[in-house]
Amino acid sequence: MNHNQQSGDAKNDDDSALSDFLASLMDYTPAIPDELVEHYLAKSGFQCPDVRLIRLVAVATQKFVAEVASDALQHCKARQAAVIKDKREKQQKDKHLILTMDDLSKSLLEYGVNVQHQDYFADDPSTGRDPASREE
Amino acid sequence: MSHGDVESTRDTRKSEDQRSLSLGGPKADDFWRAVSKIAVLQICESVGYERFKESALEALTDISIGYLCDLGKNASFHANLAGRTECNLFDVTRALEDLGASHGFSGASEIGNCLVGSGTVREMVQFVDSKEEIPFAQPVPKFPVVRHRKLIPSFEHMNETPPGKHIPSWLPAFPDPHTYIHTPMWNERASDPCADKIEQARQRRKAERALLSLQQRLVCNGSTGTSASMVVDAKKGKMHEAGSNPFLVAPLQPGEKDMSQVVFPAKLSDEVSKGNHVSVLEAFASAIEAMKDGPSNELYGEKTLLPEKRPAVHFNFRTGKKLLGQSIDLSLLKKGEKRTTLFLSDEERDDKKRRAEFILRQTTEYPMELNQS
């Protein structure tokens, strides 16, 4: 009985939290404009007159892209830190953070998307090997 | 490892503007692709990136568009599974769980729990709370542009009855008979070719007069300071020339003129300030004079009037002064040629062509004179 009551309370909390969230979505403007999201959702067969759901999908996509980008940023910063560690006397070549295909492919691999390029030169014994087993 | 500009995902080359022109032209999708590229760029900037590689940005744009489409597909699938056509919150939540399953979210392993408390939604709430808004850089225009076509009105609309009983009245009306029936045309006006020619010549002369006066005015504007002195000198020169060469008739003799105003040597000396006004009269006078005298007189202004009968002409010009901007050039030209194309006779050229040529010469010479002076 208690268990049911507790789960009931939890549900009510979740409900209220969700409804609050949906209401707050109307104030929050996602980075992806509504027209764009509507176009692609219409293309995939998603039909919904409710604007809040459109916003929800936009926020979800924004979250996804932000996560991928931040993972790639971590890789980029790690690489720059490694460079600094090796050559402390010499100046840093690249102070700026650049989104490269390299970092992107590494971060996307965790999400199950393979965008890796084949190596152009096979000048290293480790070329063509699985990146997990490769030493950077 | 190098990545160059090759994308390893789907064929996304068509999204580039330059490449799309060579392969089938720009497509409607390119617009949305460009918009999403901007959005992805802004998101990456908010994360912390400062610069971007073009290929990496394109790849990320493709992936985010794919994610969006996958969400929509999944949500609509779940809605159809439940026997609905319109998606609701739960369909979207299930779709999010499906797509996030590979990465994992809290409560993924639990089955049978209410979707309201799903881990994905909670993560979403956290995301919205933590991140600040990134408004889109530019307003998105309405696309595709809807063009309202003008339809052909129906029989009903035109208040016509269809010509056959088998034709319903809501169909578009037939075109008007004048669009497909050819009727002969008669020229009802009686044309008088002689009168037409005279009228044409008159209008032509009018136009030429106006053009000449404009040029004279322009010349006088350019050389306002010297006009009075020039005129006075010219007058003196004329008298002298007239005395030495009786065939050099100055156009300013009052007896020959129709216009009573044209006693302009005196006028000019009095009204130095009204240079423009005087020059206009002067131009008119000289033009009328030229026309009255017929085709033998080519030159306008006070300097010269060449009779056509004289093969070689010698002019007593003052080389230092510019008499309405024409003297020097013409003297040089005359020395070289006995009968040049500049001085046309009736036998050789048409009246109209001569005038046209003269006007052209005036326009080319005057700016040069103005520059020199």
Give pLDDT, residue B9: 40
Render B52-98 in DSSP notation, one character per residue: E-HHHHHHHHHHHHHHHHHHHHHHHHHHHHTT-SS--HHHHHHHHHH
Whether residues B50 and A18 touch (CB distance < 8 A) is answered with: no
Half-sphere exposure of B104 (CA within 13 A, CB side): 1
pLDDT exceeds 70 at position B149: yes
Minimum mean pLDDT among B224-233, B255-264, B276-285, B316-325: which range?
B224-233
Tally of structural domains, chain A: 1
Give me the residue spans of the domains in chain B.
Answer: 28-130, 148-180
- Chain mean pLDDT for chain B: 73
The token pair at A23 is 């209401």
Domain-embedded: residue A2: no
Mean pLDDT of B216-244: 60
The pTM score is 0.54
Residues of B whose CB is below 8 A from A28: 128, 133
Q: Does the distance separating the beta carbons of B136 and A41 come in below 8 Å?
A: no
Determine whether B28 is exposed, middle or buried from the number of CB atoms within 10 Å of its CB (0-12, 13-18, 19+).
Answer: exposed
Question: Given a cut of 90, is residue A124 above it in pLDDT?
Answer: no
Find chain A residues with C-beta within 8 A of B5's C-beta.
none
What is the pLDDT, as a whole number, of residue B175? 87
Residue B126: pLDDT band by 50, 70, 90 thresholds? confident
Q: Say if the Cβ atoms of B140 and A111 lie within 8 Å.
A: no
What is the spatial distance between Cα B73 and Cα B95, in angstroms, rounded to a whole number? Answer: 8
Tokens of B203: 């209008």
- Provide the chain B residues 78-137 that lie in CB contact (below 8 A) with chain A: 79, 85-89, 92, 96, 102-103, 114, 116-117, 121, 123-125, 127-128, 131, 133-136
Cβ neighbourhood burial of A1 (10 Å; 0-12, 13-18, 19+): exposed
The C-alpha of A80 sits at a distance from chain B's nearest C-alpha, in angstroms, of 14
Largest Cα separation within chain B, whole Å, is 127
Domain annotation covers residue A35: yes
Contact map slice: B 198-227 vs A, CB within 8 A: none
Neighbours of B253 (CB within 10 A): 13
Task: Residue B87: list chain A partners with CB under 8 A.
Answer: 46-48, 53
Residue B298 has pLDDT above 70, yes or no: no
Query: pLDDT above 90 covers what percent of chain B?
Result: 24
What is chain B's Cα-based Rg? 44
Instruction: Give the mean pLDDT of A111-126.
Output: 84
**Residue B273 pLDDT > 60:** no
Please tell me the distance from the alpha carbon of residue B248 to that of residue B178, in angstroms, as a whole number: 67
Q: Which range among A37-41, B208-212, B343-347 shows the weakest confidence by mean pLDDT?
A: B343-347
Counted residue by residue, chain B has a size of 373
| pLDDT tens, position by position, B18-44 | 554 557 788 878 999 999 999 999 999
Q: Give the pLDDT mean for A87-107.
A: 78
Quick check: is A100 in a domain?
A: yes
User: What is the per-residue pLDDT for A96?
Assistant: 81
| Interface contact flag, B103 A32, Cβ < 8 Å | no
Give A2-16 pLDDT, tens digit per residue. Answer: 666 666 677 788 788
**pLDDT tens digits along B157-171:** 888 888 888 988 889
Residue A42: give its domain's CATH number.
Answer: 1.10.20
Give percent of chain B above pLDDT 70. 58
Please report the pLDDT score of residue B368 as a whole number.
Answer: 59
Asked if B63 and A18 come within 8 Å (Cβ–Cβ), the reply is: no
User: Which DSSP string do the residues of A66-132 spell out, in sequence order?
Assistant: HHHHHHHHHHHHHHHHHHHHH-SSSPPS--S-EE-HHHHHHHHHTTT---PPPPS---STTTTS-TT
Q: Is the model's pLDDT at B70 over the cut of 90?
A: yes
Question: What is the predicted pLDDT for the residue at A76?
Answer: 92
Q: Which of residues 31-50 of B touch A (CB under 8 A)?
A: 32, 35-36, 39-40, 42-44, 46-50
Instruction: Supply the pLDDT for residue B371.
Output: 55
In a domain, A42, yes or no: yes
Mean pLDDT computed over B137-155: 83
CB B295 within 8 A of CB B335: no
Asked whether B197 and B256 are in contact (CB, 8 A), the reply is no
Number of neighbouring beta carbons within 10 Å of residue B256: 14
Q: Is residue A93 part of a domain?
A: yes
Arithmetic mean of pLDDT over chain A: 83
Q: Pick the closest to residue B245 from B315, B188, B339, B189 (CA basis).
A: B315
Nearest CB among A30, A32, A117 relative to B3 is that of A117
CB atoms A32 and B36 under 8 Å:
yes
Residue A53 domain-assigned (yes or no): yes
B22 vs B42: CA distance, rounded Å: 29
Q: Say how far apart CA B281 and CA B240 lie, in whole Å.
A: 24
CB-based burial of residue A98 (10 Å sphere; 0-12 exposed, 13-18 middle, 19+ buried)?
middle
Q: How far apart are CA B45 and CA A26, in angstroms?
A: 23
For range A105-123, the mean pLDDT = 87
Out of A10, A35, A99, the one facing B117 most closely (by C-beta) is A10
**Residue A134 located in a structural domain:** no
Query: Chain B residues with CB inside 8 Å of A79's CB?
Result: none
Q: Which residues of A touch B6 (CB under 8 A)?
A: 117
pLDDT for res B201: 94
| pLDDT tier for residue B5 given thresholds of 50, 70 and 90 | very low
Residues of chain A found within 8 Å of residue B73, distances taken between Cβ atoms: 44-46
> DSSP class of residue B22?
H
Least confident span in A38-52, B56-70, B286-300, B347-361: B286-300
B residues 138..157 contacting A (CB < 8 A): 140, 142-143
More confident residue, B218 or A13: B218
Q: What average pLDDT does range B80-101 have in this prediction?
A: 92
Q: Are B297 and B290 in contact (CB under 8 A)?
A: yes
More confident residue, B118 or B265: B118
What superfamily in CATH does domain B28-130 come from?
Histone, subunit A (1.10.20.10)
- Burial tier of B353 (Cβ tally within 10 Å: 0-12, 13-18, 19+): exposed
Q: What is the pLDDT of residue B297?
A: 45
Of A32, A44, A53, the CB nearest to B92: A53
The tens digit of pLDDT for each residue in B168-194 reads 888 988 888 888 888 888 877 777 888
Closest CB from A18, A102, A117 relative to B8 = A117
At residue B275, the pLDDT reads 47
> Which of A53, A59, A101 to mutate against chain B (most B CBs within 10 Å)?
A101
Are B128 and A24 in contact (CB < 8 Å)?
Answer: yes
Structural domain of A117: 10-125
The verdict on a CB contact (< 8 Å) between B140 and A35 is: yes
- Assess whether pLDDT exceeds 70 at residue B94: yes
What pLDDT score was predicted for residue A15? 82
Count of A–B CB contacts within 8 Å? 199
Question: What residues of A are in contact with residue B105 (Cβ under 8 Å)?
Answer: none
Average pLDDT over residues B321-334: 49
Greatest mean pLDDT among B27-36, B201-210, B226-235: B201-210
Q: What is the pLDDT of residues B333-362, one digit of tens each?
A: 555 454 444 454 555 557 888 888 888 888
Q: Of B5 and A15, which is predicted with more confidence?
A: A15
Preferred mutation among B30, B46, B67, B115 to probe A, highest tally of A CBs within 10 A: B67
Which residues are CB-neighbours of A78 under 8 A, at least 6 positions away?
Answer: none
The pLDDT value given to residue B271: 47
Q: Do A104 and B60 touch (CB under 8 A)?
A: yes
Q: In degrees to the nearest 10, what's the CA dihedral of B280, B283, B285, B289?
A: -170
Which residue of chain B comes nearest to A31, CA vs CA?
B134
Taking the C-alpha atoms of residue B144 and residue B131, their distance in angstroms, rounded to an integer, is 32
